[in-house]
């Protein structure tokens, strides 16, 4: 993560991210496990609580995202693989990385079942999406990013639920 | 807990002997045995290094080195003499700790990397230290008798984050074509987010990268030389382990300089691991290869005895599927006691295992 973004841009990102995250409702049902239909809405529900501390907007108002998808696969009787894919319409590489980071942190903390998590961003443009996906799925990079105080503060603001 | 081989053949087993909450409420990133095998150092997200010693059948904490780093400690390494411990941290520094009668004391802090230090390793000669970082570089440091450290080389060969460095076990690197032409130098290997492994040696007073091993399809996380230093194992986010060899026998018609051993991939272990493989360890005493995987499992492989040296095959001899509650980050064979394996995990725990070799090997 790079620290070259101005405060104004960060605020715009918050807005866009919250709107996109509120839209994360579409999902695919994979497999035959009877518990998956119960578990599956949990990930989008948790993601929906990620917010902008100042003012939330709806997807309809800003039309940020074209599509998103959450898959849940059973690994064994007590663990699930959760795969999240989304396509932000704003082709902003830093925004996408930030979204990926917030998603990972939020789900890691809040998913009430044992899981492995994969997050994929598809920007619809060309080369950067593979680079972003590799970064946000590298747990060492994510851990180090979360030790950066500035970045951590932003992520914490986005993932903390209001009282 | 016992885990046998997948098809029931052989008598291999991996049994749990002890489990420790080594870095509570945090993750344990790495464990390293002291050269005598009596102590185990662990490090983690709680920014500390802990040293564990045996007490009967149990392991107890003998020292906590908590004041050295401001961020996660990613790896630790013991010097050859066992008197020093180096710790590599996300705070961009490497601390050198000296063992004293009271515990450990930080004697120096190596600075210079631009961001997180991912690995540290002492050379077999004892006079060099290697570090690597997300800043894409590998640094080589020389240490003198007065414990003074000086950076003698900064190698910028990788194009991305460098995850791990490991020294070749010998002080000299031999060629197989002409054993009389022995390169009296040390060899270093590095693994990177750029999907490659690079090898370095000293040429005319300068360190150079002399070869790049390509083949992995994603980040290479770990490396391990076999006891003789003829082979190198690498493990990757692509869920495979690759075995590379420097032997050149059986290569008719290939013209190479007799002082230039070339490394190539002679075996790929695929289809066994279901997630990223974070570490690989090659036992110097038994030849067994252990892996630490993001699917929470530990696996052990042994080379099949009848295979040709240039086309080896490895059989899976043990698979402990829930070795830890979360990703296994590191595995390490005890250098003195055959079959004793330590592991650590994102769940903050360190575990000790006994590996019983299959009777057929």
pLDDT digit string, tens, across residues B282-329: 999 999 999 999 999 999 999 998 878 788 999 999 999 999 999 999
Q: Do A116 and B275 touch (CB under 8 A)?
A: yes
Q: According to the model, what pLDDT value does residue B173 have?
A: 53
For chain B, percent of residues with pLDDT exceeding 90: 80
Would you say A71 and A88 are in contact if contact means Cβ atoms under 8 Å apart?
A: no
Backbone phi, psi, residue A46, to 5°: -65, -45
pLDDT digits (tens, 9 = 90+) for B131-169: 999 999 999 999 987 889 999 999 999 999 999 999 999
Q: How far apart are CA A16 and CA A161, in angstroms?
A: 18
Q: How far apart are CA B260 and CA B146, in angstroms?
A: 36
Q: How far apart are CA B71 and CA A109, in angstroms?
A: 20
Q: According to the model, what pLDDT value does residue B206 have?
A: 93
Mean pLDDT, range A87-92, rounded to an integer: 61
Question: Closest-CA residue in chain A for B238?
Answer: A134
Question: Closest-CA residue in chain A for B71?
Answer: A147
Domain annotation for chain A: domains and CATH numbers? 2-159 (3.30.300.130)
Q: How far apart are CA B241 and CA B313, in angstroms?
A: 12
Q: How far apart are CA B325 and CA B338, in angstroms?
A: 26
Q: How far is A109 from chain B (nearest CA, A)?
A: 13
pLDDT digits (tens, 9 = 90+) for B256-270: 444 566 899 999 999
Tell me how crowded residue B38 is: count the other CB atoms within 10 A of its CB. 14
Does position A131 have pLDDT exceeding 70, yes or no?
A: yes
Question: In chain A, what residues touch B193 (CB-CB under 8 Å)?
Answer: 134, 138
Size of interface A-B (CB pairs under 8 A): 31
Q: How far is B133 from chain A (nearest CA, A)?
A: 12
Q: Do A144 and B90 touch (CB under 8 A)?
A: yes
Question: Closest-CA residue in chain B for A144?
Answer: B90
Does position A126 have pLDDT exceeding 60, yes or no?
A: no
Backbone phi, psi, residue B126, to 5°: 85, -10
Q: According to the model, what pLDDT value does residue B93 have?
A: 98
For chain A, percent of residues with pLDDT exceeding 90: 13
The more confident residue out of A23 and A139 is A139
Q: How far is B223 from chain A (nearest CA, A)?
A: 17
Q: How far is B297 from chain A (nearest CA, A)?
A: 13
Q: According to the model, what pLDDT value does residue A71 have?
A: 79
Would you say B318 and B304 are in contact if contact means Cβ atoms under 8 Å apart?
A: no
For chain B, percent of residues with pLDDT exceeding 70: 87
Q: Do B327 and A139 touch (CB under 8 A)?
A: yes
Does position B177 have pLDDT exceeding 90, yes or no?
A: no
Q: How far is B51 from chain A (nearest CA, A)?
A: 23
Question: In chain B, what residues touch A138 (CB-CB under 8 Å)?
Answer: 193, 219, 237
Q: What's chain B's average pLDDT?
A: 90
The helix (run of H) or strand (run of E) holding residue A100 is: helix A93-110
Residues of B with CB under 8 A from a CB of A: 27, 45, 71-72, 74, 90, 115-116, 118, 134, 161, 163, 193, 218-219, 237, 275, 294-295, 325, 327, 346
Task: Extract the tokens encoding B258.
Answer: 């007799």
Q: How far apart are CA A148 and CA A151, in angstroms?
A: 6
Q: Do B71 and A147 touch (CB under 8 A)?
A: yes
Q: Which residues pair with B140 in a beta bridge?
A: B130, B153
> Given the structure tokens 């003195």, which residue do they identify?
B336
Q: According to the model, what pLDDT value does residue B3 have?
A: 52
Does position B243 have pLDDT exceeding 80, yes or no?
A: yes
Closest CA to A162 of A58, A48, A62: A48
Mean pLDDT, range A15-36, rounded to an integer: 41
Does position A163 have pLDDT exceeding 70, yes or no?
A: no
| Terminal C-alpha separation, chain A | 29
Tell me how crowded residue B228 is: count the other CB atoms within 10 A of its CB. 11
């Amino acid at each position: 993560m790079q620290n070259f973004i101005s405060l104004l841009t960060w605020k715009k990102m918050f807005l866009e991210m919250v709107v996109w995250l509120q839209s994360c409702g579409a999902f695919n049902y994979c497999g035959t496990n009877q518990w998956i239909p119960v578990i599956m809405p949990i990930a989008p529900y948790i993601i929906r609580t990620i917010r902008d501390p100042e003012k939330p907007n709806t997807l309809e108002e800003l039309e940020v995202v074209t599509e998103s998808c959450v898959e849940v696969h059973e690994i064994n009787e007590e663990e699930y693989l959760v795969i999240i894919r989304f396509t932000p319409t704003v082709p902003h590489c830093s925004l996408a990385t930030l979204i990926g980071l917030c998603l990972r942190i939020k789900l890691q903390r809040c998913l009430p079942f044992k899981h492995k998590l994969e997050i994929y961003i598809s920007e619809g443009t060309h080369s950067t999406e593979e680079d972003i996906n590799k970064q946000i799925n590298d747990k060492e990079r994510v851990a180090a990013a979360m030790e950066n105080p500035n970045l951590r503060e932003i992520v914490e603001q986005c993932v903390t639920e209001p009282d | 807990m016992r885990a046998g081989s997948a098809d029931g053949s052989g008598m291999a087993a991996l049994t749990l002997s002890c489990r420790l909450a080594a870095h509570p409420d945090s993750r344990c990133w790495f464990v390293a045995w002291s050269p005598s095998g009596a102590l185990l150092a662990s490090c983690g997200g709680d920014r500390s290094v802990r040293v564990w010693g045996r007490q009967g059948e149990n392991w107890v904490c003998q020292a906590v080195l908590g004041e050295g780093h401001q961020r996660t400690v990613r790896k630790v390494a013991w010097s050859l003499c066992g008197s020093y411990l180096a710790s590599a941290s996300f705070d961009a520094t490497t601390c050198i700790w000296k063992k004293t009668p009271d515990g450990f004391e930080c004697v120096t802090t190596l600075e210079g990397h631009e961001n997180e230090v991912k690995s540290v390793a002492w050379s077999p000669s004892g006079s060099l230290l290697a570090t690597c970082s997300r800043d894409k570089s590998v640094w080589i440091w020389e240490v003198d008798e007065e414990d003074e450290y000086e950076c003698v080389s900064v190698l910028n060969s990788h194009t991305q984050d460098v995850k791990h460095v490991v020294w070749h076990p010998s002080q000299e690197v031999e060629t197989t074509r002409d054993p009389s032409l022995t390169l009296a130098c040390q060899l270093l290997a590095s693994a990177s987010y750029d999907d490659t492994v690079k090898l370095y040696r000293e040429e005319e007073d300068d360190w150079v990268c002399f070869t790049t091993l390509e083949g992995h399809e994603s980040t290479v996380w770990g490396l391990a030389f076999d006891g003789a230093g003829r082979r190198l194992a690498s493990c990757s986010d692509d869920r495979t382990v690759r075995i590379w060899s420097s032997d050149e026998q059986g290569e008719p018609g290939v013209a190479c300089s007799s002082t230039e051993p070339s490394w190539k991939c002679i075996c790929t272990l695929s289809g066994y691991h279901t997630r990223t493989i974070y570490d690989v360890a090659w036992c110097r005493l038994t030849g067994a290869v252990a892996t630490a995987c993001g699917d929470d499992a530990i696996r052990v492989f042994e080379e099949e005895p009848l295979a040709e040296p240039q086309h080896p095959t490895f059989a899976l001899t043990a698979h402990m599927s829930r070795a830890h509650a979360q990703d296994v980050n590191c595995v390490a064979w005890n250098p003195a006691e055959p079959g004793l394996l330590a592991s650590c995990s994102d769940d903050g725990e360190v575990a000790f295992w006994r590996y019983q070799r299959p009777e057929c090997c």
